[in-house]
Chain A
């Protein structure tokens, strides 16, 4: 037992556990099946535990399904919340009356593991502004499946530093199953995200490794991008490798208020947008019906020059002439050694540009689609954005020349046969400690 366990907290809970067992046996006497009865004050009890926890506390939640009708929140640093398994300890927020989130954490050195969170009104698990965060074997889900009324994000760490999300499961989010936003030093690995609009989103974040994840049956598998109008800008340095991004063809169910995600084409594998220094390699990206790999700039709504962009109502907040806080173009993106096939067979007809392009190309879209938009300020030379594509098997390719009104499409991927230096692995303390324990060296490579 680690020395930092708060014995008082554990003891309090074991006393409570006997009370739970009593409730469960009552419930079991009447109804066959698992215990889903919640003592009237479980909500209050757990919330009080979260408030009075001392740094170092481990709050253990027993097996069972517990109902909460308002957000649970934690603000104490160095707390671990631990269940008995993502399918055994279930926090259900079905019928939530108050608060937008299921569990809301604003604390450093936070770990949550082996817990399921279901049917919250808004996001299932939000961690805001924390350093040294571990989300491990957490299942966050809307049990009714795809629905525009589901919460936007299942696992939603934002403004975090040194963040590990691993071995977790996300289902049913109306925006992204597993999201990382405005964060730095992040590892997302071995997760499964399915039946969401977006499987994974890496937004306005810096130094991110996403590997060995599965994204399937979402509208889109994974997005790596920067958006305007957010305080943290300049996301970059993202590695996406050894993931399986397959069969993401669930019809887009995002509400219109989610803007760009509402317009995400059904059947998108991975999209990389308005970001620099991204390396996508060793992934299996297959059978995403609109496009397997989509490389695009962000449409600020007015035009491509920085001057025009600065006048856009969408970006003017932080984008002023001469200010490069928001940069809508792709730069230095290296997509190599991926197993890409079977995409683009049936483009989302809801998205006009995709539909027209597929028709013009005889019905299907290529595996890798690039809009070809570059900063007009750049020198007029080939591939000034340094988009490098190589060793992606027989993957077909198209630069559809969005800026030039599709007049000069480029079909030959050899025009992008360059290489970029490998990006270094992300190092965060929780992963470094594991490496030193197992002696397995760099797990990421």
Chain B
């Protein structure tokens, strides 16, 4: 009896140990890589960003510490956003993954969270960064939902605001270049302006061509597509070498002038200027990945634009100063500026690239008018 009694607790210990091991094994999926993120898939969405548990603690120098499973990423050629530094993260529920698409945004599973934070220098002296906003796109059962969270001055919390207040940005770069402007933050309706295609909201950035690049993870440099596959966030992807890859707009070694300009137009214009996009009705499609005179607006009057600096045509090959495309990229006047939302200052370097590209284009000079 005594021996038997001693034996029974031993068996219990082994059983307990076995259960514990099992738990550890499964928790490695549920609470290991994906530990801590708390998903809300319907109204009301959390008023505070911290409630999602995507990040640990406060923002320091513009940096957020992602929880396990919250994976940082970046893009070959991003959207220009007033020179903000942008930090992107993706998270998906345990056991789910995005389905690879060759040309379009990946098919993300319900529960996916995409987070993008916008930071500007806070102090000219220390170069310390301050987060202004973190935008979430959350894939609910029925749709992607945009949720803009605004950071407080002490960088301890970020609060959901459907109609965010504009923020005054004022700093000087190390080379003496001043920045002083009002940073307008899109409201949740305006999110749709850029993200909708045929009235369905879609993420714009996470496409194969944009993600197909190396990223410096904590455990070293790796191709993002390969890494997403490795951590179980992507299925159906080919080897990075055979997947499409956009040029980096500011890296001549990454592609020809044309390839870089087309990548820039793709990521700065084509979210609206494509069939089904907000500006689909204009007939201009800048997301083709190749140059097509008619679809890029060569010698085309902008049917519904207002005064465009006395220029006649969207694009005049060889003549950037006669091309409305360049005029609108250079302008910050409200009805002229392109994109219409999310740009409050001109992107000097981006405009220079597009100017160089327009200058290089051969073809019709659109009659004798030439635009002026």
Contact = CB atoms under 8 A, between A and B. Distances in A.
Interface in A77-121: 96-100, 106, 121
B192 A106 contact: yes
Interface string B81-100: 00000000000000000000
A326 to B, nearest CB: 11
Contacts, number: 133
A74 B309 CA distance: 30
Given A257-B301, A257-B324, A313-B366, A229 B307 contact: no
Contacts of B280: 231
Contacts of B352: none
A128 interface: yes
Give the interface SS of chain B, mostly helix, strand, loop or mixed: loop
* Interface bracket on B: 35 or more
Contacts of A148: 307
Contacts of B190: 71, 73, 99
A100 B303 contact: no
A435 interface: no
Interface string A288-317: 000000000000010000000000011011
Contacts of B309: 257
Given A52-B162, A100-B340, A149-B307, A314 B283 contact: no
Nearest to A45: B163
A48 B189 contact: no
Interface stretch (B113-121, B239-247, B291-299): B291-299
B318 to A, nearest CB: 14
A313 B299 contact: yes
* Interface bracket on A: 35 or more
A27 interface: no
A52 B298 CA distance: 41
A70 B184 contact: yes
A256 B294 CA distance: 20
Interface in A192-240: 227, 229-232
Contacts of A181: 281, 304
Contacts of A383: none
B152 interface: no
Contact of B308 (A71, A255, A318): A255
Given A96-B334, A182-B281, A230-B281, A314 B162 contact: no
Contacts of B340: 99-100
A82 to B, nearest CB: 20
B165 interface: yes
Given A122-B335, A257-B311, A75 B165 contact: no
Contact of B189 (A50, A100, A259, A317): A50
A39 B351 CA distance: 38
Given A74-B189, A257-B312, A231 B306 contact: no
A229 B184 contact: no
Interface string A146-169: 001111110010110000000000
B189 A257 contact: no
Interface string A50-68: 1110000000000000000
A47 interface: yes
B310 interface: yes
Nearest to B308: A257
Nearest to B162: A51
Contacts of A260: 301
Contacts of A123: 304
B275 A230 contact: no
B293 A48 contact: no
A121 B334 contact: yes
Contacts of A259: 301-303, 312
Given A151-B306, A259-B312, 19 more contacts: A44-B165, A51-B163, A73-B189, A74-B189, A75-B189, A98-B341, A99-B340, A148-B307, A150-B306, A174-B306, A181-B304, A182-B281, A227-B303, A231-B280, A232-B281, A257-B310, A313-B298, A314-B299, A318-B294
Interface of A: 44, 47-48, 50-52, 70-71, 73-75, 96-100, 106, 121-123, 128-129, 148-153, 156, 158-159, 174-175, 181-182, 227, 229-232, 255-260, 301, 313-314, 316-318
Interface of B: 162-163, 165, 182, 184, 187-190, 192-193, 199, 275, 278, 280-283, 293-295, 298-312, 324, 333-335, 340-341, 344, 364, 366-367
